[in-house]
Amino acid sequence: MTFALSLVVGYLLGSIPFGLILTRIAGGPDVRTIGSGNIGATNVLRTGSKGLAVATLLGDALKGTVAVLAAGLYAGHDAALAAGLGAFLGHLFPVWLKFKGGKGVAIYIGLLLGLFWPGALVFCFIWVVVAAASRYSSLAALVASALTPLAMWFSGAQSTALLFLLLTTLLWIMHRANIARLLNGSEGKIGARVTTQS
């Protein structure tokens, strides 16, 4: 019962679409009509507003952090893991947006902060290095998410590492279009402006 409740509450928190909410409050375009059509921080950055992108990143990350910390405080580590899974699924498939949400990078970081904060440092370090070298946000996220669970496993956080292995799999699935564009050389680079979708 505790596991199910943590999963549901985590899902509801994770499904809050900060990218869409913040761009609308700011009077900007519907973020779903530009770039990739995604509601995450990378696509919000394509509106030209770095402030909104940062706010989206923080909102999407911290909703995951809050979900796991609250569940862990009241019901222990296993409940926190359940809440983390629920939050991640809520971000990817929010009920409010017909189950079309973000790709999971920001909330992945937020969950790391709440469940195993050194993992967040590892992820961000790898992301920065790969992004600086390639200027591809998606490639940086894919590489960082692949390596972070390994680092967690060898740090002794095996149960948490197993959760993040699952989250990494989901993240890669959500980035399948990005992977295809990376392979054919058409993926947009960090800082590039894109036009509104037709």
- The pTM assigned to this predicted structure is 0.89
In a domain, 189, yes or no: no
Domain count, the chain: 1
Per-residue pLDDT of the chain (198 residues; tens, 9 = 90+): 788 999 999 999 999 999 888 888 888 778 887 877 778 887 787 777 788 889 999 999 999 999 999 999 999 999 999 999 999 999 999 998 889 888 999 999 999 999 999 999 999 999 999 999 999 988 999 999 999 999 999 998 999 999 999 999 999 999 999 999 999 988 878 765 544 443
Question: Per the domain annotation, does 33 fall within a domain?
Answer: yes
* 12 domain residue, yes or no: yes
Domain that residue 96 falls in? 2-184
Asked if residue 190 is part of any domain, the answer here is no
Residue type, 8: V
CA-to-CA separations, 115 to 41, 71, 85, 92, in angstroms, rounded:
22, 11, 11, 19
| 112, two tokens | 């790391």
Distance CA 148, CA 165 (A): 9
